[in-house]
Chains A and B, each alone.
Chain A
Amino acid sequence: MQLVKKSYTAETDENLMREVIKGNNLAFSEIYDRWSKPMLNYFYKMLWQDREKAEDFMQEIFTKIIHKPQLYNPSRAFKTWVYSVANNMCKNEYRRAEVRKGTSNSLHDNIIVHDSSAPDKEHDKNIFNDRLKEELELLSENHKKTFILRFKHDLSIKDIAEILETSEGTVKSRIFYTLKKLGKNLKEFSPVAKTIMVGMCLIELVQCII
């Protein structure tokens, strides 16, 4: 099979896109296999954890690649290009959501229902994760995007700046602001807070014994 069909697994995204522009469906299939999952999860995180919406958006981005592959400039990194397209799609969706919000008050409430799905309160870690998810949802779109691109998709400051069409300084400042805000809101999970809480519990226990 290898003799008949060329394997594209070792090819870079940029080379694959060159092939896609030429009309190679195997290259397109490879690109889809590589990027469908990250795109789906990005849209899921950015679009109020709505799986259906995320899948629609993911399909839309690949449809764009099929119909207008020439929009991609092979001299640019595919990773940043695809995230910037996804980011623009999210921006448009936020605008549409704002318009809808004016007509319907219950839109976001319905979508964010997934956010609090079955949290396991038995472990601190799970509690922290749930709280973090909640806090992330409360962040502004730009701060949330920056945070997700940085900590979920492991992108560099430079790439994030390119995707969000902003400066690296702005990206750094957004990350720092988000960390500070989340840290403040989740301070009960910080190691110091934990030791203080443990200490307070111990004092209470001693007082009870006495």
Chain B
Amino acid sequence: MMEDRNISKMDVEFYLLNREYDKLNSDELAIVNEHVESEQEFNEMKAVVMGAGNLFKEEKELAPNPAIKVALLKEFDKQQPAGAYWLNGIFTSLFPKEKKLFQKPGMQLIGLAASVLLIVTIAFNGKTDMNNSKLAQNKGVKSEEETVEEHSKLDRDEANEEKNLEKNDFQPTVELIEKDIEVATLNEVEIEEKPESVENKGTTADFMYDAQSIESVEADLSIAADLDYRRNDNNLHASEESFKKGVLKDQRKGCYIR
């Protein structure tokens, strides 16, 4: 009770409630004597304070008639139209006055709904507007048909490549052979022509020419031998290369099959 009433130690009431006059120390006595004339007066006041406390504690408190509450609640309902409270409650809870605009739950819900609407619009309606020239289009993305076409093109290209490779494998050797044959025939022709000249002229100069021609023939022959060697060598290389390419093709095909 003392705490409820916030009784200060500077109040006489505190000493009246908690102390006997003869047990007061000098400081307490000084405070009490400022207001109380004698010990008798102190005791009389003490009796009243203690008695009043007991009186009000023991006193039977009156209980209100329950009919009053019923009547008041009816009055309250009349004052507040039905449902108004809940509408008010919803509004006030969504848009409380004490909060800032962006902190109001209502505003946050509106923001959330707007963002969801925007996402839905972009995600679902975006596809139908692919042909809309006003919108930016992602051309990097290809359809399934396009990718299938691309694959078939690649296959065709590969087939062509194979064909070309097959052709290229044999072409150089044929050319080389033809060239070699040409060179060889030319040399042969030269060789054939020269004896004719020796026979016709029969001079030292012709002899010398013949000697030179023999040397040239020999040189030609060695060249021809070299060419033969190279040709054979080239053929060998070409066959090796064609073999390797064939293996690679098989490997590629194998990959596609997988």
**Contacts A154-B5, A172-B11; A183 near B47 (Cβ below 8 A):** yes
Q: Does A67 contact B (CB under 8 A)?
A: yes
Q: Chain A residues near B221: list those with CB within 8 A.
A: none
Q: Chain B residues near A40: list those with CB within 8 A.
A: 62-64
Q: A86 vs B63: C-alpha distance in the bound complex, in angstroms? A: 17
Binding-face segment, A8-16, A17-25, A87-95, A104-112: A17-25
CB distance from A115 to the nearest CB of B (A): 13
Tell me how many residue pairs across A and B have CB atoms closer than 8 Å. Answer: 132
| A183 contacts B80, C-beta separation under 8 Å | no
What is the chain A residue whose CB lies nearest that of B92? A22
Contact of A190 among B46, B59, B61 (CB under 8 A): B46
| A28 contacts B76, C-beta separation under 8 Å | yes
Q: Chain B residues near A28: list those with CB within 8 A.
A: 72-73, 76
Q: Chain B residues near A183: list those with CB within 8 A.
A: 41, 44-48
| A55 contacts B65, C-beta separation under 8 Å | yes
Q: Does B159 contact A (CB under 8 A)?
A: no
**Number of B positions contacting A (CB below 8 A):** 47
Q: Chain B residues near A32: list those with CB within 8 A.
A: 69, 72
Q: A184 vs B47: C-alpha distance in the bound complex, in angstroms? A: 10
CB distance from B178 to the nearest CB of A (A): 102
| A192 contacts B39, C-beta separation under 8 Å | yes
CB distance from A149 to the nearest CB of B (A): 10
Main secondary structure of the interface of B (DSSP, over half): helix
Tell me which of A67, A152, A187, A190 has the highest count of chain B C-beta atoms within 10 A of its own C-beta.
A190
Contact of A184 among B1, B5, B6, B44 (CB under 8 A): B44
| A186 contacts B47, C-beta separation under 8 Å | yes
| B79 contacts A189, C-beta separation under 8 Å | no
B 113-141 contacts with A by CB, 8 A: none
Q: Does B246 contact A (CB under 8 A)?
A: no
| A55 contacts B72, C-beta separation under 8 Å | no
CB distance from A54 to the nearest CB of B (A): 7
Q: Does B205 contact A (CB under 8 A)?
A: no
What is the chain A residue whose CB lies nearest that of B37? A180
What is the chain A residue whose CB lies nearest that of B11? A172
**Contacts A28-B73, A192-B43; A176 near B48 (Cβ below 8 A):** no
What is the chain A residue whose CB lies nearest that of B72? A62
Contact of A22 among B1, B47, B58, B85 (CB under 8 A): B85
What is the chain A residue whose CB lies nearest that of B54? A125
Q: A157 vs B79: C-alpha distance in the bound complex, in angstroms? A: 37
Contact of B79 among A54, A67, A152, A190 (CB under 8 A): A67
Q: Does B56 contact A (CB under 8 A)?
A: yes
18 examples of A-B residue contacts, CB within 8 angstroms: A23-B85, A37-B61, A37-B64, A40-B64, A55-B68, A58-B64, A59-B68, A128-B51, A132-B48, A151-B52, A154-B4, A156-B5, A158-B6, A180-B41, A184-B41, A190-B44, A190-B46, A192-B40
